[in-house]
A and B are shown apart, each in its own frame.
Chain A
Amino acid sequence: MVKKIRKKFYLSDFEEEQAFLSSQRSAGWRLTEIRGKKYFFEECDQESVVYQIDFNPKEQQKSEYIQLFTDFGWTFITDKEGKYYFSKPASQYSEDQLFSDRETKMMMCNKIMKRKLIQLIPLSVIAVIISTVLALNLFYLDLFPTGILFILSLIWIGWLSLTLYSMKYVSGFFKLKKIINGNLN
């Protein structure tokens, strides 16, 4: 049997994503594939399995990269937008975290932060364009009633989404900082 779950995880929520996959596995569902926001699972025995995600968007030698993780006992499942999904039976006596020291974990979190900042660029451009249009309309152009309405709704929607996004982004940064400073088990 196969099932599909729609779920959205932000890049900075990779620890929640790992826990989600692990809990599915202990309920007897094994991750097979991820397409967009859809996670595909296959029915399997209920097992305790560790899931770990590595963010490595610039990797060019994928087969060598995956081979190294396989040597360490990790099973490669799939990759999506620079995120690589690995699993390992929890009973196995060995390192069950991908990162064993703070520095390398920090390097991965920094890659996520960089990606998040890049993702913010289009939003900032849109915000600048909205404010420019608004300023031009206010000071240089004649405003039609429909124009006012249109711009007001634009500002409203713009601010609303900006606030929501920035809150999500800021909390993401704080979370990554906490992950870096937190104990590595």
Chain B
Amino acid sequence: MSLAHFKTIGVRIAIYVPLIAWAALVLMPLLFLYNNSLKTSEQVFLSPWSLPTELQWTNFAQLFDGGGDATSFATYLENSFIVTIASLVAVGVIASMAAYALARFPFPGARFVQVLFILALAMPITALLIPIYSLMNGLQLLSSYVGIVAVYTGLWMPFSILLLRAYYDSMPRELEDAARVDGCSDIGVFIRIVLPISKGGLASVTIVNAVGIWSELLFAFILLSDPNMQTINVGLLAFKTQYQVQWNLLFAAMALSVTPLLLLYALFQRQITKGMTLGAFR
């Protein structure tokens, strides 16, 4: 299985060079991050590239400890997990229902709704910040899980629906029709046939969304001013400005933010790349 544009040895070596260079460029900062997260502050400062003489797991303990007026990173992590998972569930439920309606029922206004979602997808979310802030302020939902989860659910909706719709469109309908003939209701068809068959698509969408929501900064930064409600990336920025000299702790904090994403990628590498590719081809 080789496309083999190029077979000659010289050219094949020339192919390796950019690949290896780019992989090194990608891995180098990550190794730098993990390496320094396990050193003392002096070691980070004096010899950022050397390996730690002794693994400083206490860096992480110190972050979780919080101590003084600093918020514990356990709180940040917990907030991130709660917000991300709740948003994913809400997006998954609402988007799969909407995508099913769009993909299977030619109801009056379906095209209009489809265009609405495409337009919504094109909106620069940065530009929505001020009205959403004042809306959440008016509803007293600043610094609350409900508020940020609702916002993420709305912002991630168009992308998820359009992607899932493309997935449903590509699914054969025979099973659904057969179930209908057997007297299964539309809701029954959705729950017992469509959802189980489409779980690959739903998984792709959910994992791609997980990466985006976990990393979201702008809205989390503005809507979550209470340190006890902040997600890990907001906490990280606050930590950076407050404790600029504690390099080792900053690296450890970054490791905490990155590790769940890398684990997710290690587990669901296929779904993530598939989901993102599907998004581009749609």
Is B one of A's binding partners?
A: no
